[in-house]
């Protein structure tokens, strides 16, 4: 099993450009999450999904959109990138009601720089 | 709203010395708490959770509801313990993370 994978690993954007980050998991997990990691601020939740076709806002959702059309994929979109969105983005997934209840499994991260 | 505080951004200890990472939380219900670790160039991974009451890689963490704390401890630090550590609280499908503590273990 690959676990949680993210593409791309690195990306540099210019202000105003758009892009989509892809997260995929092969563990049949119901829940998926997008976080951003910034120095001194820990991980902050952007959006999350508790099932295929559902999404919800997290702590810092502004400037981002998400979609969960398939259970195994969770896409994070930036419609008009801003320098404040320079960060490392992590995807995670989890499955409630199992022996790993509420444990989140993380992807390797995407380092995004917005110039 | 729940909140997780890790007061130390950086912690430096010598190999073989004890290490303690502080975590305090604010939450109105019965908390479910975790410690995650991120080694250099690796993804975040679960270290331990309070409901398991287990010791992983020599680390333990005890939930103290009176002091609303979940400090992480290891009696003898090793160089491979150098990493970023995050305390997290689970509620309503989501994890709330502290700001993290970077631990450096010196030889």
The per-residue pLDDT string of chain A (115 residues; one tens digit each, 9 = 90 and over) reads: 789 999 999 999 999 999 999 999 999 999 999 999 998 888 999 999 999 999 999 999 999 999 999 999 999 999 999 999 999 999 999 987 665 668 899 999 999 999 9
User: Cβ–Cβ of B43/A58 closer than 8 Å?
Assistant: no
Q: Which of A33, A102, A107 sits opposite B43 (nearest CB)?
A: A107
Number of domains chain A contains: 1
pLDDT (tens digit, 9 = 90+) per residue, A65-93? Answer: 999 999 999 999 999 999 999 999 999 99
- What is the rounded distance in angstroms from the CA atom of residue B91 to the CA atom of residue A45? 13
CATH code for the domain of A21: 2.60.40.10
Fold of B3-106: Immunoglobulin-like (2.60.40)
Q: For A108, which residue in chain B has the nearest alpha carbon?
A: B43
Residue pairs spanning A and B at CB distance below 8 A = 44
Alpha carbon of A79: minimum distance to chain B alpha carbons (Å): 25
pLDDT at A100: 61
Spell out, as residue ranges, where chain B has pLDDT lower than 50: none
- What is the rounded distance in angstroms from the CA atom of residue B75 to the CA atom of residue B94? 31
Cβ–Cβ under 8 Å, residues A111 and A10? yes
Q: Which domain holds residue A85?
A: 4-114
pLDDT at A59: 93
């Amino acid at each position: 099993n690959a676990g949680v994978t993210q593409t791309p690993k690195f990306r540099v954007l210019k202000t105003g450009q758009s892009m989509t980050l892809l997260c995929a998991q092969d563990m049949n997990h119901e829940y998926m999450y997008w976080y951003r990691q910034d120095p001194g601020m820990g991980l902050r939740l952007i959006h999350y999904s508790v099932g295929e076709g559902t999404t919800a806002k997290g702590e810092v959702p502004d400037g981002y959109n998400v979609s969960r059309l398939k259970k195994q994929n969770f896409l994070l979109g930036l419609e008009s990138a801003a320098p404040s969105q320079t960060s490392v983005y992590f995807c995670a997934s989890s499955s409630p009601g199992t022996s790993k209840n509420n444990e989140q499994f993380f992807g390797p991260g995407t380092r995004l720089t917005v110039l | 709203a729940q909140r997780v505080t890790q007061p130390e951004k950086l912690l430096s200890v010598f190999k073989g010395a004890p290490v303690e990472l502080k975590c305090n939380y604010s939450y109105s219900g019965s908390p479910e708490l975790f410690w995650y670790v991120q080694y250099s160039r690796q993804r975040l991974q679960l270290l331990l959770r309070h409901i398991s009451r287990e010791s992983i890689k020599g680390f333990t963490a005890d939930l103290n509801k009176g002091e609303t704390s979940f400090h992480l401890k290891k009696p003898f630090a090793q160089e491979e313990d150098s990493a970023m550590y995050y305390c997290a609280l689970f509620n309503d499908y989501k994890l709330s993370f502290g700001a993290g503590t970077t631990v450096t273990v010196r030889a």
